[in-house]
Amino acid sequence: MVDGTRIADVEAVPEVGSYLFTAEDAFTNERELILVPCERDPGVEAWVNECTHENQRFDRGDGAAMRDGQIICPKHGSMFDACSGACDNGEAAGTSLPGVDVTVEDGGVFLTDDNYTYLHDGGVADDDGPDSTSHIGF
């Protein structure tokens, strides 16, 4: 049995895109986190829902833009590997997304990171999150 909170069924994580949820960090701040598909075991990874270059959310409620196993920043187009979180292009080149520990077991995805406490599905309730001023379309 996993020592963590069930976030979602593995099937709820889209093949292309993300599953958005909110957790409380160690400093009691609400943080948006995303589950994304990954070709390596366990098949799902979790990341903080924010570009490392600027305060831009990947998933604004309708799934993160993804292409070829990479998460795309909606502002400048930097691409982050969905499995490792690493970015080797654009404004965020040389950075990596902050990871979040999850475990996949019995068809479910569980939050097992001691730095986060699961709160709810979806994004932070208020609209004070970062916005994109990009005209990039996906």
Torsion of the alpha carbons at 87, 93, 95 and 96, rounded to the nearest 10: -10
Structural domain count, the chain? 1
Confidence band of 25 (pLDDT split at 50, 70, 90):
very high
Domain residues for 91?
Answer: 5-121
Q: Which residue has the tokens 């196993």?
A: 69
Amino acid code (one letter) for 23: A
Question: What's the mean pLDDT when you consider all of the chain?
Answer: 92
Arithmetic mean of pLDDT, 44-60: 96
Residue 105 has pLDDT above 90, yes or no: yes
- CATH number, residue 30: 2.102.10.10
Confidence band of 138 (pLDDT split at 50, 70, 90):
low
Residue of 122, 13, 133 lying closest to 73 (CA atoms): 133
In sequence order, the 6+-apart residues with CB closer than 8 A to the CB of 27 are none
Arithmetic mean of pLDDT, 9-37: 97
Q: How far apart are CA 62 and CA 55, in angstroms?
A: 18
CB atoms < 10 A from the CB of 73, how many? 26
> Token pair of 20, please?
């958005």
**Global pTM?**
0.88
> Token pair of 79, please?
């691409």
